[in-house]
């Protein structure tokens, strides 16, 4: 009767884990943000549904579906949540269901695996010892600016998800608020054939990626923290 949170590939099918395959093969109920892409994934992995439920579970119906799935868990069924790619709940649906499961005394079991934020961070070249993941920025300029202003003095490496169409719009704001010389990285098409890390200052990246020259494919944006330096991890030198 556990609730499994199954991480799935963000581009490269080989990133699926053995454990994820086992859970997706055995869970009584699968709950997916996008049932069509879930079917494609199951078929690519040769995992038959064999009469098991594959239910749509996303922002649009989470309020009704979370209690419905919690009832199934309470009846002793295993439920596995998967998102279109990556780790459920990380800028993806699932939070409400996890709350329901905890309240019902049901075990919540992560099946870890791909996550764009962590993959991007590890190869960005930016400090990794402390980071702040902020997901998608608000679409409304006022709300976005308020959040960015609140983040500009944070020392952690900042991680955002952003659609490629909006990168050209957001980069000049980032350069203005955080400073054009702030080191940053755009991790594009992670784990796919055209995986690229665009490393540079926010000013340089804003000049490269404009509204007319949007990056292609999925992007994760990382920005070095305010006074973060590579040697922050080094022990302090002894004063003589
Ligand atoms: N839950 C997912 C995870 O664990 O990474 C994130 C889902 S969120 C709806 C999708 C966003 O993640 C994209 O808009 C993009 O910012 C980022 N993303 C997903 N796949 C990516 C990839 N292959 N390369 C770069 N960024 C990616």
* DSSP one-letter string for 43-80: HHTT---TT-EEEE-STTTHHHHHHHHHHHHHTT--EE
> Confidence band (pLDDT; 50, 70, 90) for 1?
confident
In the prediction, which pLDDT does 227 show?
83
Mean local confidence (pLDDT), 197-209: 97
Strand ordering across the sheet containing 131-136? 131-136, 157-162, 219-223, 183-188, 196-201
CB 17 within 8 A of CB 113: yes
pLDDT (0 to 100) of residue 226: 96
Radius of gyration, alpha carbons of the chain? 20
CB of 87 closer than 6 angstroms to any ligand 1 atom:
yes
- CB 187 near ligand 1, within 6 Å: yes
Average model confidence (pLDDT) across the chain? 94
162 touches ligand 1 (CB under 6 Å):
yes
Q: Is the pLDDT of residue 211 over 90?
A: no
Question: 133 alpha carbon to ligand 1 midpoint, in Å?
Answer: 12
How remote is the CA of residue 42 from the centroid of ligand 1, in Å?
20
pLDDT band at 239 (very low <50, low <70, confident <90, very high): very low
The number of residues making up the chain comes to: 240
> pLDDT category, 230, cuts 50, 70, 90?
low
* pLDDT in the model for residue 240: 44
Which domains does the chain carry? 3-111 (3.40.1010.10), 116-230 (3.30.950.10)
115 lines ligand 1 (CB under 6 A): yes
pLDDT reported for residue 238: 53
Angle at which helices 141-151 and 164-178 cross, to 10°? 50
Residue 220 CA to ligand 1 center (angstroms) comes to 7
Across residues 140-165, what is the average pLDDT? Answer: 97
Tell whether ligand 1 has an atom less than 6 A from the beta carbon of residue 119: no
Cα–Cα distance between 121 and 109 in angstroms, integer? 24
- Compute the distance from residue 137 Cα to the ligand 1 centre, in Å: 13
Q: How far apart are CA 95 and CA 81, in angstroms?
A: 11
What pLDDT sits at residue 59? Answer: 87
Share of the chain above pLDDT 70, in %: 95
pLDDT tens column, 55-75: 999 989 999 999 999 999 999
CA-87 nearest atom, ligand 1: 4
Q: Is 79 a residue whose pLDDT tops 80?
A: yes
**Cβ within 8 Å of residue 181, ≥6 positions away:** 201, 202, 203
Residue 232 in tokens: 């922050």
- In ligand 1, the atom with minimum distance to the C-alpha of 11 is 23
Work out whether strand 53-56 and strand 3-6 pair parallel, antiparallel, or are unpaired: unpaired
Q: Which of 38, 116, 162 to mutate to test the pocket of ligand 1 (most atoms within 8 A of CB)?
A: 116
Instruction: Report yes or no: 220 and 190 within 8 Å, Cβ to Cβ.
Output: yes
- Residue 41 pLDDT: 98
Alpha helix positions (H), 152-209: 164-178, 202-208
- Predicted model pTM: 0.94
């Amino acid at each position: 009767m556990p609730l499994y949170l199954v991480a799935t590939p963000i581009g490269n099918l080989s990133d699926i884990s053995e454990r994820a395959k086992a859970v997706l093969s055995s869970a009584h109920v699968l709950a997916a943000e996008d049932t069509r892409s879930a079917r494609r994934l199951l078929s690519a992995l040769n995992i038959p549904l064999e009469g098991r439920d594959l239910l749509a579970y996303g922002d649009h119906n989470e309020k009704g579906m979370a209690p419905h799935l919690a009832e199934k868990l309470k009846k002793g069924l295993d439920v596995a949540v998967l998102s279109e790619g990556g780790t459920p709940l990380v800028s993806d649906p699932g939070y409400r269901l996890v709350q329901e499961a905890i309240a019902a005394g049901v075990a919540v079991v992560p099946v870890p695996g791909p996550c764009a934020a962590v993959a991007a961070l590890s190869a960005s070249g930016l400090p990794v010892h402390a980071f702040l993941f902020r997901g998608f920025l608000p679409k409304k300029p006022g709300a976005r600016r308020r959040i960015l202003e609140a983040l500009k003095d944070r020392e952690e490496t900042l991680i955002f998800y952003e659609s490629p169409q909006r990168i050209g719009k957001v980069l000049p704001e980032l350069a203005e608020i955080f400073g054009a010389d702030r080191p940053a990285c755009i991790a594009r098409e992670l784990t796919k054939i055209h995986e690229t890390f665009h490393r540079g200052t926010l000013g340089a990246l804003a000049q490269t990626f404009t509204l007319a020259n949007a990056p292609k494919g999925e992007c994760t944006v990382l920005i070095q923290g305010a006074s973060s330096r590579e040697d922050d991890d080094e022990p302090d030198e002894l004063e003589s």
